[in-house]
Structure 1
Amino acid sequence: MAIPGWQRADSPFHHGERAIQERLGALEQMDTFGRRMIREFLPEQHRQFYAQLSYVLVGTMDSAGKPWASILVGEPGFISTPNDSSLHIAAHPLYGDPLTDMLQVGSDIGFLGIELQTRRRNRVNGVVSAIAPDGFDVQVSQTFGNCPKYIQARQFDLAAFDPNVAKPLHTLTRLGDAERQAIAAADTFFIATAYLDEAAGAARGVDVSHRGGNPGFVRIDGNTLTVPDFAGNCHFNTFGNIEVNPRAGLLFIDFEQGNLLYLTGRAEVIWDGDPEIAAYAGAERLFKFHLTQGIRVDSSLPLTWSKPESSRFLAETGPW
């Protein structure tokens, strides 16, 4: 029996996402695809998937309108689904994570459930509906699956931890040597964007997504980062949000040391025709991020990781 898709007359994509889909000749295709694959409830396989996770990526927006990408960690089962349109998260933010200040009833929130070891990932957007002693609840607005492209496979182990134990924390408004080294070595990062205007209707929300490439795929010029964007699923959730709200939050994970680097700032997209795109083989466009502020927390993540198995799709891309 087929699982019902999007049941509303309005598109599951807001006008920023649709504008980019139209620009690239994919509007009709994505309307059909989105109505089939995007839902306002969690299918059973998604409910089972979230229940087996030990970590989940989170996107939120602070009171000043700045997006932040975060990570929550717990034993499998820390994410549960009381019903097919709600999540209960039995976890508290790690020490220093900006998410701590943004968990309030009524706050928009996005999740990326991802298993790096299997390259499986699903997305949820919703609203915080309750704060509980062990965590919080979320009312689901949209949920959908993503393809495994550009994900570096990593096995992991979860160590015992207390999120309240203080860790070395550094606030910043410019990138120092430690931040530059972490970014230069990265083959993975996560990006949060948002569009919360009422005009978006049921497609409004905060989104958090994965980006992957060969180590060094993020170029650093002062406090500006430039990232190639490769062929994907044509949803353009991230770039659609940037089209109407040019801000983004990034999370870089140091998989060897457990350090977490949270950045927020101004975002822009460099489209086809710009000669800068030709500097990176396989890129269809570029994403630029201009830092406003950030937080680095050392030895924060209670997960240890294996060496990565690079995505086979990276063979089609080249270095800067």
Structure 2
Amino acid sequence: MSSPMDQEKTAFHVGEIAVQERAHGSGPGWRRAVSRVFRDTMPDQHRAFFENQSVLFLGLLDRKGCVWATPAFGETGFVRSPDARTLRVNAVPALHYELAFDMGEGAKIGVLGLELHSRRRNRLNGEIVKSGTDGFDIAVGQSFGNCPQYIQARAFDRQDRLTEPMEITHLDGLTEEVQALVERADTFFIASRVPEMTDDPRDGVDVSHRGGRPGFLGVTGKSTLSFPDFNGNRFFNTLGNIEADGRVGLYVPEFETGEALFVTGRAVIDWSPDRAGTFAGAGRIVDVTPEEILYVRNVFPAGGRLLEAWPGLETTGTWGEARGCGG
């Protein structure tokens, strides 16, 4: 593991550094170089990007410290950036009241803006500095962009679906209906956290996107959700949090129907090359043991249709193929 001195000079905490070194052997020089990508302010293009979105994907904690991934919706313009250090969201997150998210002053939050039709995405992690019944303000801790890899291009039409109240079902396990939703998914979102929240901008909540061929997220064993970790930007923000803490939240949407699965639980990284080798481009497998499961109808207020899958997904494998029963 790298020395505390290495950590002090970079944008990464000790969990991220440990995974980086195990995965690709990157040293302090690489970390110092790529740390320039992480800013404590949003560049103007990121501010304009966020303001053009009609959905944000968030990572939040509940009052018990469990972490959840959840969306927030609005008409285009519901997100504003009054200055380079502030993002103002004029909406409340989905399931905020049902799950009692911690949105008080100083609460940590992860934010992902994802423009699915263009495959553009930008992220920021920070803390809530103001909160009310109609929205909240976020102070930037870390602002950075991500590449378009594994994003499925989609178009949305809010007129496709009438606004109906959410129907929330708390589950004791992964029912057949939920398993079918999981294995149809080509996209999901994962939130993660560090063990202790401090004033250090590296210590907080993160949310990121995962994409692949339908079946890349699977139910393994009796109740474990598993997915391959494909090679990406090598920052390992999510896996670094898993290494340091292990608490995660998954949001698995069915864009066409508006239903979704919300899970909070514990994740571990499986470094076995034989298991990861089932999925081309994967370096390891992540296994999630659910501790709380919600199946929700009418979450996404817009109908979504696939425009184009990420190129090359045919070679990436599925859990069906891993079990030897076809895709």
Q: Is the pair's TM-score, using the shorter chain for normalization, greater than 0.5?
A: yes
> In structure 1, what is the equivalent of residue 130 of structure 2?
130
The 8 Å contact of residues 160 and 302 in structure 2, kept in 1 or not, is answered as no
> In structure 1, what is the equivalent of residue 76 of structure 2?
76
Supply the AA of the counterpart residue of 2:109: I
Cα deviation per residue 1:93-147 (whole Å; 9 max; x = unaligned)? 3357756533222210000100011110011101110113421111110010000
Supply the distance in 1 between the matched residues of 2:65 and 2:100 (Cα, whole angstroms): 16
Change (3 A) 1:70 1:97: farther
Supply the distance in 2 between the matched residues of 1:208 and 1:223 (Cα, whole angstroms): 23
Change (3 A) 1:309 1:98: farther
> In structure 2, what is the equivalent of residue 206 of structure 1?
205
The answer to whether 1:242 aligns with 2:242 is yes
Supply the AA of the counterpart residue of 1:241: N
Supply the distance in 2 between the matched residues of 1:161 and 1:281 (Cα, whole angstroms): 37
Cα deviation per residue 1:30-58 (whole Å; 9 max; x = unaligned)? 41343221000000000000000010100
Number of residue pairs matched by the alignment:
311
Supply the AA of the counterpart residue of 1:287: V
The 8 Å contact of residues 216 and 227 in structure 2, kept in 1 or not, is answered as yes
> In structure 1, what is the equivalent of residue 193 of structure 2?
194
Supply the distance in 1 between the matched residues of 2:81 and 2:195 (Cα, whole angstroms): 25
The 8 Å contact of residues 60 and 101 in structure 2, kept in 1 or not, is answered as no
Supply the distance in 1 between the matched residues of 2:211 and 2:130 (Cα, whole angstroms): 33
Supply the AA of the counterpart residue of 2:141: S
Supply the distance in 1 between the matched residues of 2:267 and 2:307 (Cα, whole angstroms): 28
Deviation at 1:293, TM superposition (A): 0.7
Cα deviation per residue 1:138-164 (whole Å; 9 max; x = unaligned)? 11100100000000000112249999x
Pairing 1:211-226 to 2, within 5 Å after superposition: 211-221=210-220, 222-226=222-226
Supply the distance in 2 between the matched residues of 1:95 and 1:229 (Cα, whole angstroms): 27
> In structure 2, what is the equivalent of residue 309 of structure 1?
308
> In structure 1, what is the equivalent of residue 256 of structure 2?
256
Deviation at 1:64, TM superposition (A): 1.9
The 8 Å contact of residues 156 and 302 in structure 2, kept in 1 or not, is answered as yes
Deviation at 1:210, TM superposition (A): 0.5
Supply the distance in 1 between the matched residues of 2:120 and 2:176 (Cα, whole angstroms): 33
Supply the AA of the counterpart residue of 2:261: L
Supply the AA of the counterpart residue of 1:80: R
Pairing 1:4-153 to 2, within 5 Å after superposition: 10-23=9-22, 24-28=24-28, 30-94=30-94, 100-153=100-153
Supply the AA of the counterpart residue of 1:155: A
RMSD (CA atoms): 2.2
Supply the distance in 1 between the matched residues of 2:175 and 2:31 (Cα, whole angstroms): 43
Scaled by the length of structure 1, what TM-score is found?
A: 0.91
> In structure 1, what is the equivalent of residue 175 of structure 2?
176
Scaled by the length of structure 2, what TM-score is found?
A: 0.89
Cα deviation per residue 1:206-250 (whole Å; 9 max; x = unaligned)? 000000110011121221011111110000000000001011100
Q: Identity over the aligned pairs, expressed in percent?
A: 39
> In structure 2, what is the equivalent of residue 5 of structure 1?
none
The 8 Å contact of residues 154 and 308 in structure 1, kept in 2 or not, is answered as yes
Supply the AA of the counterpart residue of 1:125: N
Change (3 A) 1:199 1:96: closer
Change (3 A) 1:17 1:200: farther
The 8 Å contact of residues 156 and 305 in structure 2, kept in 1 or not, is answered as yes
Runs of 4+ in structure 1 over 6 Å off: 160-163
The 8 Å contact of residues 198 and 204 in structure 2, kept in 1 or not, is answered as no
